[in-house]
Homo-oligomer: A and B are copies of this chain.
Amino acid sequence: MSMMQCRRFLKGEQNMRVSDIETPAVIIDQDVVERNLQTWQKYCNRHGIANRPHIKTHKLLELARLQLRLGAVGITCQKLGEAEVMAQVADDILVTYNVVGQAKLQRLVDLARQIRLSVTADHPTVVHGLSEAMQKESRPLPVLVECDTGLGRCGVQTPVEALDLAKQIADSQGLQFGGLMTYPTSIPKGTDFMNEVVRLITQAGLSVPVVSGGGTPQMWDAHKAEVFTEHRAGTYIYHDRYTVEKGAARLDDCALRVVATVVSRPTAHRAILDAGSKALSSDLLGLSGHGVIVGFPQASIVRMSEEHGVVESPGAPLTWEIGQRLQIIPNHVCVVSNLFDQVHAIRQNRVEEIWNVAARGRLQ
């Protein structure tokens, strides 16, 4: 079924069902999404944690809107390009990224005039660029200091560096010190680091309005990391094989699945799916095989080409025939969202809506 046919279905000519969708395709179970969002929002409310979900996982206007309606204080974007899209539905966006270069800084200024934008920085050069861009603006830009509490990615390396950068931000025209940010929240290493930074900054006479942590695997321990005032979870909306392996969810909390078709049965123990690395991505995240094939625990996608998933079942022969449809829970759901232009929002087996992945490919 082509997209054009899909739209006809949705206009009520017929009821479109999951079995009508042409594969490979993404389905989103809205009941599961709503349960995931509500459960986490309740947890945040109970523990007084501000919920600022990361939209990189879904990149959908529809679900950002839902997250906000259920109680999120704002959203998180990784790239400015994502924030520009999400500004259609969100008026409070934190971009957890060093915004660098004249063209991006001009876009940042434009966006900061439209919504309550905040960003992170981890270096005096970044703060300097932000201040130069923002200096003539009437409303100062909140800038949070990104701290590397063990991941080894961005972030200042020591609490003293964090203090120095906070002071620089507070002293910079067009900016205000917005607090602290790290990813992911880790206990006790991350909390020890952040406690020390808060102590130093408070001692220096500045207040720390926000301490922002993040990550889905550790989300249910967020309340133990008392120094944090807000949490940025992304994957929690859909969950995936990785967050299940990490104990943050069960398999039936996984809301996104890739629907695929068996297109070849070369041997009794091998089947080929029409979903390869251009549908599932090749992210392994330390797991073995590419996703969980729902209902077939003995079968595994052992390797992929771009448009082929190679399934092997070393034990019993596979009974699938050519044309059989399967559903796959991906290893890493965030990269799958970025490979599809559209996703199918379902309830039970009915396709209710087709959503454009509005922020897909917004890398810049």
| Chain A residues within 8 Å of B, Cβ to Cβ | 1-2, 5, 22-25, 56, 78-79, 97-98, 100-101, 103-104, 107, 122-123, 125-126, 129, 148, 152-157, 261-267, 270, 272, 274-275, 277-279, 281-284, 305-308, 310, 321-323, 334-335, 338-341, 361, 363-364
Contacts and interface: CB of A to CB of B under 8 A. Distances in A.
Given A25-B364, A122-B266, A153-B264, 7 more contacts: A79-B307, A100-B262, A153-B272, A154-B308, A282-B282, A282-B284, A339-B363
A308 B23 contact: no
A263 B154 contact: yes
A307 B363 contact: yes
B323 A264 contact: no
Given A101-B22, A282-B282, A341-B361, A335 B306 contact: yes
Nearest to A364: B22
A322 B125 contact: yes
A24 B321 CA distance: 43
A235 to B, nearest CB: 11
12 contacts: A1-B103, A98-B263, A100-B322, A122-B264, A123-B265, A125-B322, A126-B263, A148-B266, A153-B305, A277-B283, A279-B363, A341-B361
A156 B266 CA distance: 6
B306 A103 contact: no
